[in-house]
Amino acid sequence: MSEIIQYKIQQIIDNGQTIQVSLVEDIQLEPISQKQLMLDAINKKIDPELKEQVLPLIEAIMQSQPTIAVKSYDKTTITITMPKRRYEILGSPRVGEKLEINMKKIA
């Protein structure tokens, strides 16, 4: 079974004859409000009766909390060293550009 994963180039080191490319998995993160994270944590901790009394106050306090991207798991990183010619055949990709890597176990 193969899995095609996109990687974003994080760093390029040109050693003259070889190129070292550091890649990080390109993960799309869903934005979630910090307010929602806090409310979820509060909901788990307080009993229903107390929650009913304090929830309106807590929501008013947290009204201005920003929306942030939450990382759900660690990203895979790969470092590849290749001849400069092979790097040029790939089109000499730059930092921030994406590469697709096909990974599978060979029996």
Q: Is the pLDDT of residue 66 over 70?
A: no
Looking at residue 81, what is its pLDDT?
95
| Segment 11-52, tens digit of pLDDT | 999 999 999 999 998 876 666 667 777 777 877 888 878 878
DSSP-assigned letter for residue 91: T
Mean pLDDT across 87-104: 90
**% of the chain beyond a pLDDT of 90:** 34
10 Å CB burial of residue 89 (0-12, 13-18, 19+) is exposed
Cα 66 to chain centroid, rounded = 19
CA 53, 56, 57, 59: dihedral to nearest 10 degrees? 140
Backbone φ/ψ region at 43: left (φ over 0), alpha (ψ -120 to 50), beta: alpha
Looking at residue 11, what is its pLDDT?
94
Phi, psi angle pair for 39, to nearest 5°: -65, -40
- Provide the whole-model pTM: 0.54
Q: Is the pLDDT of residue 78 over 70?
A: yes
